[in-house]
Amino acid sequence: MPKVPTYDNRTVMPEQLPNNGFSVQSSPDAFGAGFGRVGEQYVGLFAEAKQRANVALAQDAALQLRQKANELMTDPQNGLLSQQGKNAIGKASEYEQSFRDYAGEISSTLPDDIVRQSFMQQAQEMSVQFASQANRHEMGQIKAYEQDQFQSTLTLNAESAASMYGDNQAYISAHKQVFQQIEEFGLSHGWGEEQILAKKQEFKVATARKAIENQLGADYMGFLEQNGEPSSLGTVSRAPTNNVPNDGVRGVRNNNPGNIRISSNKWVGQTGDDGAFAKFATPEHGIRALGKNLLSYARQGFVTPEQIINRWAPPEDNNDTQAYIEYVSDYLGVAPNQPLDLTNLDTLTHLSTAIMYKENGRNRVNYTDEQIATGIQSALGFVELQATSEAPKLLTGSAAFDALDEADQAKYLRQAEQLRKQKQGELQQQFGTRVADSYAAWERGLEAPNAPTHDELISAFGYDKGSAMSADMQEAKRYAGFMSAAKEMSPQAQQVLLAKNKPQPGEANYESKIQRWEKFGKFVEGNIKEQDKQFAANRLQLSIQNNFPLDPNDKNNQQAADDYFEQHIQQSFNLRDDNSLNAVAELTARTGIIPSQVKSVLNMGATSKDPEVVLPIAKMYGQIFDNNPASATDIPSSTMAYYSKVYSLSRAGMPDEKAVETAFKTTFEQDERTKQMIASQIRDKGYIKDRDKAAQSNINDFYPWYKPFSSPNVSKPGTQNGAYLRDYQTLYDANFAETGGDAELSKKMTNAQIKRTWAVSNINGSEEVMRYAPEAVYGINESGAGNWIAGQWEEEKKQLMSKSFGGASSGTEIVIVSDAVTPRDYSYGIMIKQTGSDDIPIYRPYTGDNGLPIRFKPEQSSSPMYKEVMEKRQQSVKEAQDKREREEALDKSRSEFDERRQSIREQYKEAHNERVNKFNNYFSWDKN
């Protein structure tokens, strides 16, 4: 039983029964009567208190029920309002029953019928309210569930239908099914016909948009081919009309002033055709089609009047294309090959007007400026021509596209065009990489197998730019062929190739051609240098192997010697190591070239007094001088004297420090007394005699020891002899002073120095002392070994004699002479020497076909001797390679024989084991 609550303030609180103001007085006379009245009062008070308690109990019970009702309705987890959609179906009655059950439970707890009756009256009212709210919620959720289910069905069907953009019949069939569902749902929910029709249209348009978006994402070109205008598909050309004056208004009559041909796809505003020409609803639609067609040309790269008209009115359609081009160019006031910006409103308007005038006759095109402007602006997308009964919207047969209004159709067509433009940009970027790679390969004379084709370039960049790129790439490819061929050509042949292909100023694209030719020229220059470098390296190897002296004037030979030193000697080079010094001495002795690194070392120690530095360098220099004196003359004479003095004193046994000190003082620190003594000696007759004897001795050194009297006598009168003697005396005197009066060292130094300029030459058939003799200038050994110049001059002389005289001629010779030009480039004048009956020779220059004197410049790499050595080397390399290949083939044959023999042994072993096993099994009790 629940306790009766009391209230504090407005809450029940336990308290004493109230004193109603009566009092009991003890009076013997009235005691009985008073007692009776007191009893009645207490009975009334008790009834009144009980009634108030019952009311409180009923109110408390109602409060509990109201709290439960609120819980049943609003509990976040289990309340009726939390039951949404499908989950709410049938729940109202369940929750009403729960409400009634709880009300019964509370009622059973009340103390008497009066309280229960009062409570149940309140519970009944609350039950009605609860049921009403519960039923409203359930009905609302059922309605929402049905609507959601219906909308979900529409959404699912819309997605399904939108994926059928490629199957028009399936797309239409799916729509029919959905329309039936819409009708059934609408009728069951009391919709009117207009509401049902609106829902169908809503579904139709939404699905169409989704279908078109799907198609654009998957196949925008398919969308354009299906729904685009002819201008979206590569344009159409105009139809030849062969108009005559009486029929010249045909294009105007058809509202087709451009005489555009019919095609499988229709134009916006096209109402039909007359068999060849398209018909349009209004002039604006026809002008729009003309403008769209021209814009499509521009998109494809046809941008000049010449290109556009060749495409618009091609000669193969019996058009006078050239006259058409001239008319349009004159109207526009531009050259036929002038690129036009057709996205410019004025340019497109003028070009379209020129075509309309040419097609129909200027006096027959009576369109207003407003009509032309509207058509052109519509072509550019500035305005849209509204659909009318005369010009209905574009219908292509695609259910999805046809369901859209003109604005949506135009929007999606623009999106498709943008996608195509984007794709073309990506294609251009892709081809741009291939183009760059191709140019990179061609500029190096290599193949470019991944180069874009002409058609690919047109597709990616349009006709104008693509054609120009293709032509330029063909030119680059042609030069790549030149580069590839030049790698195998001689320097002279490369120069001929370069000169032959030089573009002339009047050629088309001269600027780009001359730039490419100049690049080719730089390639030829670099290739020749690289060839010379490689040839020089080969010559150096041959020189080392065959003791073949090199041309010391050829910078490539010097570079080859430097490279050889760097690759084979420098890493382990040490001045205190005899092997290092011997390697340098051998290289210099065989080639006649001192590496630049060694020259730097020689110059570095030229003024040092430190024996640790000077002695090793002097030893290296001495070995070089002993083996090839001429090659050791590339340093100052004072340096030569210093190192030679140190070297000779050290070898004579003088202590190292003393040898360096003495040589340094003698060479660089001569006192006045020493200088006077040397000057006095130079004037002495004995000195002069010894000096001239040394000069003759130097000439004699050119001859073998067994015929010393065959050499020319330098004291014999003659221009060359006198000049030689003067040069020798000058050098000898200077060296005598440099060496501190050392006659022997002066002789050695002078002999080495003068042999770089003077020699006894037999280049012209007889021995003669010659300044700048080829043998001296080009470093031929004194013994004549390796004299490649003689053979080369002999070959060239034969050709000159054959050309001028038909062969050998008595009394006529061709000789070479050194002249004023020879010291500059070491070339020689070619002279015709003719001797008359008086035995007096007459010389005259040998002139070429141009009437100018020609010269002979020795070139080691083309000399017969060098070629012979090279051929022998190549033959030896080939023989070694053939031998190696034979040995490898023999080894392979032996290996294959061993493998076959091992295989046969294994097979025999297996067969033998099988026979043994069979024999054993035959006598076995366990055999099957």
Residues 378 and 262 in one domain: yes
Tens digit of pLDDT for each residue in 557-568?
889 999 999 999
The pLDDT assigned to 918 comes to 57
| Mean predicted confidence (pLDDT) in 527-549 | 83
Domain that holds residue 785: 756-860
Look at residue 2 and tell me whether its pLDDT is greater than 50: no
Quote the CA–CA distance of 873 and 850 in Å, as a whole number.
40
Q: Which residues of 627-655 are buried (b: 16+ CB within 10 A; e: fewer)?
A: bbbbbbbbbebbbbbbbbbbbbbbeeebe
Give the residue with greater pLDDT, 59 vs 858: 858
- Find the length of the chain: 928
Least confident of 146-155, 313-322, 439-448, 479-488: 146-155
What SS3 class is residue 270?
strand
Q: Is residue 570 part of a domain?
A: no
Contacts of 667 (CB under 8 A, 6+ apart): 638, 641, 642, 645, 738, 739, 740
Residues 333 and 458 in one domain: no
Look at residue 86 and tell me whether its pLDDT is greater than 80: no
Angle between helices 283-299 and 369-380 (to 10 degrees): 40
Cα dist from 117 to 58, 329, 486, 659, 734, whole Å? 9, 109, 122, 147, 154
Look at residue 785 and tell me whether its pLDDT is greater than 90: no
Helices first, then strands: H and E counts in the chain: 31, 8
Give the residue with greater pLDDT, 41 vs 267: 267
Look at residue 825 and tell me whether its pLDDT is greater than 50: yes
Identity of the residue numbered 423: K
Tens digit of pLDDT for each residue in 879-897?
767 777 777 777 777 777 7
Mean of the per-residue pLDDT values for the chain?
81
Residues 372 and 468 in one domain: no
What are the contacts of 486-489 at 24+ separation with CB within 8 A?
486/445, 486/523, 486/524, 486/527, 487/445, 487/527
Residues 770 and 852 in one domain: yes
Tokens standing for 184? 């059934």
Which of these, 484, 291, 460, 251, lies nearest to 372 by C-alpha position?
Answer: 291
What SS3 class is residue 808?
coil
What SS3 class is residue 787?
coil
Residues 245 and 362 in one domain: yes
Residues 379 and 468 in one domain: no
Which of these, 848, 865, 857, 850, lies nearest to 800 by C-alpha position?
Answer: 848
What SS3 class is residue 393?
coil
Look at residue 730 and tell me whether its pLDDT is greater than 60: yes
8 Å CB contact between 641 and 603: no
Residues 239 and 302 in one domain: yes
Look at residue 23 and tell me whether its pLDDT is greater than 90: no
Residues 313 and 439 in one domain: no
8 Å CB contact between 336 and 326: yes
Cα radius of gyration rounded to whole Å, the chain: 59
Tens digit of pLDDT for each residue in 614-666?
898 888 888 888 888 877 787 888 888 888 888 888 888 888 898 888 888 88
The pLDDT assigned to 874 comes to 65
Sort 115 into a burial class: Cβ within 10 Å, 0-12 / 13-18 / 19+. Answer: buried
Q: Is residue 78 part of a domain?
A: yes
Q: Is residue 368 part of a domain?
A: yes
Quote the CA–CA distance of 772 and 758 in Å, as a whole number.
6
8 Å CB contact between 792 and 858: yes
Tokens standing for 76? 């976040």
Tokens standing for 85? 């959609």
Tens digit of pLDDT for each residue in 147-182?
777 777 778 888 888 888 888 898 888 888 888 888
The pLDDT assigned to 381 comes to 87
Which of these, 225, 227, 208, lies nearest to 165 by C-alpha position?
Answer: 208
Tokens standing for 146? 């049905």
| Mean predicted confidence (pLDDT) in 587-601 | 88
273 forms bridges with which residues in the sheet? Answer: 278
What would the 3-class secondary structure string for 453-509 be? CHHHHHHHHCHHHHHHHHHHHHHHHHHHHHHHHHCCCCHHHHHHHHHHCCCCCCCCC
The pLDDT assigned to 19 comes to 44
The pLDDT assigned to 373 comes to 94
Place of tokens 């609003």: 74
The pLDDT assigned to 47 comes to 66
Contacts of 243 (CB under 8 A, 6+ apart): 250, 359, 360, 361
Cα dist from 4 to 49, 191, 484, 751, whole Å? 11, 59, 117, 148
Residues 245 and 375 in one domain: yes
Place of tokens 């499509």: 296
Residues 348 and 442 in one domain: no
pTM greater than 0.75: no
Quote the CA–CA distance of 663 and 742 in Å, as a whole number.
11
Tens digit of pLDDT for each residue in 460-478?
788 888 888 888 888 888 8
Look at residue 256 and tell me whether its pLDDT is greater than 60: yes
Angle between helices 864-922 and 788-805 (to 10 degrees): 120
CB count within 10 Å of CB 34 equals 15
3-state helix, strand, coil in the chain (%, to 5): 65, 5, 30
Contacts of 651 (CB under 8 A, 6+ apart): 622
Q: Is residue 598 part of a domain?
A: no
8 Å CB contact between 708 and 715: no
Final residue in a domain of this structure, among 507, 527, 547: 527
Which of these, 772, 751, 764, 767, lies nearest to 711 by C-alpha position?
Answer: 767
- DSSP 8-state class, residue 16: P
Final residue in a domain of this structure, among 504, 527, 550: 527
Cα dist from 588 to 432, 495, 631, whole Å? 54, 34, 7
Quote the CA–CA distance of 850 and 493 in Å, as a whole number.
21
CB count within 10 Å of CB 815 equals 19
End-to-end CA distance of the chain: 100
The pLDDT confidence band at residue 224, using thresholds 50, 70 and 90, is confident
Quote the CA–CA distance of 220 and 888 in Å, as a whole number.
62
Q: How many domains does the structure of the chain reveal?
A: 4
Tokens standing for 180? 């039936």
8 Å CB contact between 531 and 491: yes
Tens digit of pLDDT for each residue in 37-67?
555 555 566 667 766 777 787 778 788 888 8
Q: Is residue 380 part of a domain?
A: yes
Residues 42 and 125 in one domain: yes
Q: Is residue 605 part of a domain?
A: no
The pLDDT assigned to 483 comes to 87
Residues 237 and 355 in one domain: yes
| Mean predicted confidence (pLDDT) in 83-91 | 75
What SS3 class is residue 809?
strand
Look at residue 433 and tell me whether its pLDDT is greater than 60: yes
The pLDDT assigned to 81 comes to 78
Angle between helices 321-332 and 305-312 (to 10 degrees): 140
Quote the CA–CA distance of 573 and 566 in Å, as a whole number.
10
What SS3 class is residue 769?
strand
The pLDDT confidence band at residue 15, using thresholds 50, 70 and 90, is very low
Final residue in a domain of this structure, among 389, 417, 443: 389
Q: Is residue 140 part of a domain?
A: yes
CB count within 10 Å of CB 98 equals 16
